[in-house]
Amino acid sequence: MKNEKRIQRNEVDQYVIDNSQKTMTTNDGVPVQDNNNMLKVGNRGPALQQDHIYLDKLMHFDRERIPERVVHARGSAAHGIFEATADISEFTTADFLKKGKKTPVFTRFSTVAGFKGSTDLARDVRGFSVKFYTEEGNYDLVGNNIPVFFIQDAMNFPDLVHAVKPEPNNEMPQAASAHNTFWDFISLMPESAHMSLWVMSDRAIPRSLRMMEGFGVHTFKFINQEGKATFVKFHWKPRLGVRAVSWNEAQKISGFDSDFHRRDLWEAIDGGDFPQWDLGVQLIPEADEMKFSFDILDPTKLIPEELVPVRIIGTMTLNRNPENFFAETEQAAFDPGRLVPGIDVSDDPLLQGRIFSYMDTQNYRLGGPNFHELPINRPINGKYNNQKDGFSRFDIPKGAVSYFPNSKAEGCPFHAKLKGEGGYQSHAQKIDAAKVRARADSFADHFTQARLFFNSQSPEEQEHIVQAFSFELSKVDDVDIRRRELAILYQVEKGLAEQVGHNLGLTPPKELDPLTLQFARQNHPQYPIQPKKPEIQKSDALSMQIKPGEGTLQTLKIAFLLDDGVSKASVDTMRDALEKEGAKAVLIGSHVGKLKFLEGDTEDIQHTFLTDASVLYDAFYTPEGDSVAKLAANPDYLQCINEGFRHCKALAFAPGAESLLKHTLVKEDKGVILGSKKKLIDDFINVVKGYRVWEREKSRKVQA
């Protein structure tokens, strides 16, 4: 959405410092006369320890780095606004979800496995976390771009992360799951089968952070005025649609621009193309908790939209980039246990464990228990309690009393109910059970939903999953691990296992490995347990292609490939049409600076075949003019066209530029639009709206 009024958090913005037209000072506000030279004995003599200006500067510099997040270290974020658009007061008392209410938000996207300096385009889960600054306190919806997770119980979380991180003996590989320790762990955990297929799908390599779904992953609870609970699953639906890049393309983007996603988000917001997501919920009455063939508290399971439709209740618009990456994006502290009245957690065992882990890790990495006083984490309604002291205390509490109950401060601060406010109340859930270290048998079906996901994909998406498993397991040099994982894939889908096995030169075992069974039976002594009959065999909502939504060119980047002598009319006609659809036309030539048109005009361009690559663009157009002969002799142009074709992108050629095809490997198909044969502009726009011509992979045997 362009040019929406920007709503700012004054409580945060008051801390923004603008250095323009200001005299330099030390951190104590002392004006600095010379910031280039230490205090010395003579201009060639030794430095003096009394140089408090230098000490002030270097002491801060030496402490500028804080521990990075153990997971989700690589992140990008933006400010925005959430507007509630539906009346769901019968389900929840949450104030920010009242129809018409607008609430400031801060949203952080991230990869999971890599370090802070890793590439944006790793094959990985993406974090999708939203901090709502509500009038009842901060609420954090801490989720991912995949609706399920690898494990069912938080006890396994450190092991999962240790397995996917670089191996401890050599600190390799970075931001990758294609290695021994990860697949060793996964092949011993049948419960990971469902999530593994999602991560091996195109969902794990999004085209843009603005073009991916978000999910709360866990089942939560809405609580209404009467204290009645309703189970809820959260969904973020992007207005731009759900898009991905190919794996080959992702690897190359990492080389050309490892900040590809971060730059894309920043430039879109900076240019007024504010990304939007609709917030949807799946609502399940308490009475239906055990209604389905799967357990809704199992985080390795999703609720198909065909069984419980997603109800849209609001829209989030990100409309402002951070002023300072460290102060905001890096210091933002998210916690799934940061709840507001009307929302509560369920008994999902992974969610229960996360509630401690997230708060604990923020306490550690942000220097103590007062991290909530950092500007980016402060609630807009203030905080009032008797907690005191600790590292990095920003607030200055008044008075002599720091305990409760008290009489000296007239009992302040009051309990919410003493002032007529509801306050936060946990759901009054009745429980009658023994304390055990065990797992419910309703969590024991590990393959039905993995099969559902695979069967719901288009043929091209299924082929991408085969390629992804083949790539990952090819990097595993332990054949026993490969066989164990093939046995798991065989339980999911025989054809999938056989295709991957063929690529690895192995015959998939039909039965689970004895070691895998041993570990599975530690959780379920009678494993394998006969699963219940699933309600559906296929769900279009799980495919990015079968149900892509209404196609759009909004914010897609179209490369115009040209050189001096290009026809300005040929450029402008196409550019005007694409920009009317919301696309970004980018002129790419043989040099930066003045581009000379055939008609005699000039235009400044900033992109060249040397600095840019095909993988950074969504489609390609070659105009006509005297530039055509120059492009025919330009190997970088030919490389760009050939690679764009390989990655299943649309290519359009003006009538006078069609002769260039004979110099390329491009074969005419529905995604290659020739101006002399088709309606150049209309056909090009229609193909680009479909994003990729994926069938080209099979028909032309061009692997993406």
Catalytic residue set: 72, 144
Among candidates 194, 221, 215, 214, which has minimal Cα distance to 289?
A: 221
* Residue whose entry in the numeric block shows the structure tokens 């299943």: 648
Q: How far apart (Å, rounded) are the C-alpha atoms in residues 610 and 588?
A: 10
Cα–Cα dist 135/459, whole Å? 48
User: Distance between CA atoms of 32 and 259, rounded to whole angstroms?
Assistant: 36
The pairing of beta strand 220-223 with beta strand 214-215: unpaired
For residue 666, give the nearest of 681, 651, 655 by alpha carbon.
Answer: 651
Query: What is the rounded CA–CA span in Å between residue 435 and residue 350?
Result: 17
Find, among 604, 668, 609, the residue nearest to 634 by Cα.
Answer: 609
Lookup: tokens for 139: 């609420």
Alpha carbons 55 and 382: distance in angstroms, whole number? 36
Q: Is the dihedral of CA 280, 286, 287, 293 positive or negative?
A: positive
The gap between the terminal CA atoms of the chain, to the nearest Å, is 32
Q: Give the Cα separation of 365 and 161 in Å (integer).
A: 17
Q: Kindly report the CA angle at 544 between 538 and 545, in degrees rounded to 5?
A: 85
Burial of 571-600, coded b for 16+ CB within 10 Å and e otherwise, reads beebbebbeeeebbbbbbbbeeeebbbbee
Handedness of CA 501, 505, 508, 512 (dihedral sign): negative
